[in-house]
Amino acid sequence: MSKEISKNRKTLYYVGNGISLIGFILFLSVFFTAFLNPFDMMGSSNPMANGFIGFILIIIGQSISILGARGLAGSGLILDPKQAREDLKPYSSQVGGMINDALEEVDLLNESKEVIKVRCPSCKTLNDEDAKYCKKCGAQL
Ligand SMILES: [Zn+2]
């Protein structure tokens, strides 16, 4: 029951991103080749094939990195809601942590906000600033 993403999944994520990057460069190279050599589009080097391979690599790389980030069940590759919850735990606890942080911040704001009270002239009970009558004895403030 670890909240951390396993090392294997992290590796998978980076490998996937690496493959996408290679695919992206290959994909972009088509435009550079076309730009540098506009009459050789269907020639011997066949840059369109590179673009196609690049495109496929991007898709494969992205799939692998999603797999690494979310795990097998978390990415929906295997249907196992229990394992999916476990796989996605780092994310859900992260969201929970963010909500907690936000709540703490609100608490701090509330604490730093000055609360003004008025003391009842007859029974000395502290009442809210905007109270018209004392909450304890009912005397007018
Ligand atoms: Zn009073």
* Residue 125, number of CB atoms within 10 A of its CB: 15
In the chain, domain spans: 7-87
Distance 141 CA to ligand 1 centre (A): 8
CA-angle at 120, arms to 115 and 122, nearest 5°: 165
Distance CA 56, CA 13 (A): 17
Distance 117 CA to ligand 1 centre (A): 13
Of 111, 114, 135, the closest CA to residue 124 belongs to: 135
Q: What is the pLDDT of residues 7-25, one digit of tens each?
A: 888 898 999 999 999 999 9
The pTM for the full model equals 0.52
pLDDT bin (cut points 50, 70, 90) of residue 114 is low
Distance 125 CA to ligand 1 centre (A): 5
Q: What is the pLDDT of residues 32-51, one digit of tens each?
A: 777 777 666 555 556 678 88
DSSP 8-class letter at 39: G
